[in-house]
Amino acid sequence: VSFNSARFLISASRLNECPPDSGAEIAFAGRSNAGKSSALNTITANGKLARTSKTPGRTRLINFFSLNREDCRLVDLPGYGYAKVSRDMKDDWQQHLGHYLNDRRCLRGLVLVMDIRHPLTDFDQMMVEWCEHNRLPLMILATKADKLKFGQAKTAMLGIAKKLENYQCLEHLIMFSATSKRGVEECREALNDWLTA
Ligand code: GDP
């Protein structure tokens, strides 16, 4: 799969607006501001693919990107947890995502993007539990690694690995940075394996 060839396909605000549930799909989730858009842009070497989310609200849709291999897609799930978001919107988010995650048969794995300085928030934990329960392969991108000294980043990674050591779903735990490009190749290889398995 060539990730450089990713193209925007469609935005969906509900399940019945998603592309046909065939082929293979990998979804990206994360707390807002974790660095999910930047990670997607870096993986696809397309600075404009996923709009980085300075403004809350516009990332409420599920965005689908097609890849060169037929019926392979990357999916940008709405970022979770804007400070200003209302209770209603949170419910809305959970409904959307719940439907997508529970019903999407072509889903091959979940990439959970977290800020290496603030790993395993309640949201992250919830997503990990969900993957474990549903036996969905999980990849964690611990991003913004460039914000820490290497030793500190290593320690953070060990901390995450330790906390998740009993989870079968965790297949890849990658130290990542959109700024330094650390981990990008490793991430592409893992995504490629999931899509072509
Ligand atoms: P999203 O809300 O999860 O999509 O987060 P964004 O990708 O929009 O990133 C949130 C903020 O973190 C932006 O200001 C980005 O420039 C910054 N950011 C994202 N990834 C990195 C990274 O790897 N290193 C650094 N230093 N900053 C990053």
Domains, the chain, in order of start with CATH, read: 3-196 (3.40.50.300)
- Alpha-carbon distance of 88 to 79, in angstroms, equals 15
Establish whether residue 183 lines the binding site of ligand 1, counting it when its CB lies within 6 angstroms of any ligand atom: no
Q: Which helix H or strand E contains 3, and what residues bound it?
A: none
pLDDT digits 0-9 by tens, 169-186: 999 999 999 999 999 999
* Lowest model confidence (mean pLDDT) among 82-86, 100-104, 118-122, 181-185: 82-86
Establish whether residue 34 lines the binding site of ligand 1, counting it when its CB lies within 6 angstroms of any ligand atom: yes
Q: What pTM, to 2 d.p., does this model score? A: 0.94
Establish whether residue 179 lines the binding site of ligand 1, counting it when its CB lies within 6 angstroms of any ligand atom: yes
* Lowest model confidence (mean pLDDT) among 34-38, 47-51, 111-115: 47-51
C-alpha 176 to ligand 1 mean position (Å):
11
Indicate which atom in ligand 1 lies nearest the CA of residue 145.
23
Per-residue DSSP letters for 57-125?
TTT-SEEEEE-SSTTEEEEEPPPB--TT--HHHHHHHHHHHHHHHHH-TTEEEEEEEEETTS-S-HHHH
Q: What percent of the chain has pLDDT over 70?
A: 89
Of 37, 67, 40, 68, give the one whose Cα is nearest residue 54.
Answer: 37
